[in-house]
C-alpha cells in the first residue's frame, strides 16, 4: 500500500507526543487552517509516495522510540495506508498518537470511501489530538497541541465508553487563551 508523505520520517522527535517518537508526515489536507505550521503538506499531489512496508521496516529497526505519531497534513485522508503502520507499531509495544483537523464527532460522521479505514485506524490509536488549528486560540503554553480548542483524547477509553474521554495527563487547565 502506498502512502503519500510530505517529508522523510522524523526518527527522533520529542515534541510530537511523549518520549522519543517517529513521526509520519502525511501529505494532503483539506482543512487549510490559517497559521498552519505545515502549509507545505496541504497539496494532495505534493510530497512523494512511499510503501507502507518501508515505513514498517523503519519502525521495526528503531531501538529507543516509545511510539509513532501520525501528523501532516491530514492523516485520516490516507487512513487505509496508515492502518498497517499503526498496527505494526502497536505489535512492537509502541503507542500511537495522531493529529487531525477533524473532530471526534466528524470522524464518526464522515461519509466517504475511506470511512471504514478511518474508523479502523482509530482502533489502533492511543491518543488523538482533534480539531482544526485556530490561530487566535494559539498558545505556547499548551502541551502537545497548537490551539486551545483542540482536545487530547484517550481513544481506547472513548471507544469503550462510547463518548469522548479526554486524557487526564494532557488536558490540564493551563490554558488562559480560550
Distance CA 89, CA 26 (A): 16
- pLDDT score at 176: 39
* Residue 78 within a domain: yes
pLDDT band at 84 (very low <50, low <70, confident <90, very high): very high
* Residue 177 within a domain: no
* Residue 166 within a domain: no
pTM of the full predicted structure?
A: 0.92
32 or 88, which is more confident: 88
Domain count, the chain: 1
- pLDDT score at 172: 62
Evaluate if residue 177 carries a pLDDT over 50: no
Q: What's the domain range around 43?
A: 2-161
- pLDDT score at 121: 97
* Residue 173 within a domain: no
**What CATH number does residue 78 fall under?**
3.20.20.70
- pLDDT score at 167: 92
Residues 84-109: what's their mean pLDDT? 96
Q: What percent of the chain has pLDDT over 70?
A: 96
Residues 61-81: what's their mean pLDDT? 95
Amino acid at each position: 500500500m502506498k502512502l503519500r508523505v510530505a517529508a522523510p520520517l522524523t526518527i527522533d522527535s520529542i515534541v510530537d507526543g511523549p518520549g522519543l517518537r517517529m513521526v509520519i508526515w502525511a501529505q494532503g489536507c483539506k482543512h487549510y487552517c490559517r497559521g498552519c505550521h505545515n502549509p507545505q503538506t496541504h497539496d494532495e499531489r505534493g510530497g512523494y509516495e512511499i510503501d507502507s512496508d518501508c515505513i514498517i521496516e523503519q519502525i521495526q529497526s528503531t531501538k529507543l522510540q516509545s511510539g509513532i505519531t501520525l501528523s501532516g497534513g491530514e492523516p485520516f485522508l490516507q487512513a487505509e495506508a496508515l492502518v498497517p503502520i499503526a498496527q505494526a507499531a502497536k505489535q512492537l509495544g509502541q503507542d500511537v498518537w495522531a493529529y487531525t483537523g477533524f473532530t471526534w464527532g466528524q470522524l464518526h460522521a464522515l461519509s466517504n470511501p475511506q470511512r471504514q479505514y478511518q474508523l479502523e485506524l482509530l482502533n489502533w490509536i492511543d491518543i488523538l489530538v482533534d480539531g482544526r488549528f485556530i490561530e487566535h486560540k494559539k498558545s505556547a503554553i499548551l502541551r502537545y497541541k497548537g490551539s486551545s480548542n483542540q482536545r487530547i483524547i484517550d481513544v481506547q477509553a472513548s471507544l469503550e465508553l462510547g463518548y469522548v474521554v479526554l486524557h487526564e495527563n494532557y488536558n490540564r487547565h493551563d490554558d488562559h487563551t480560550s
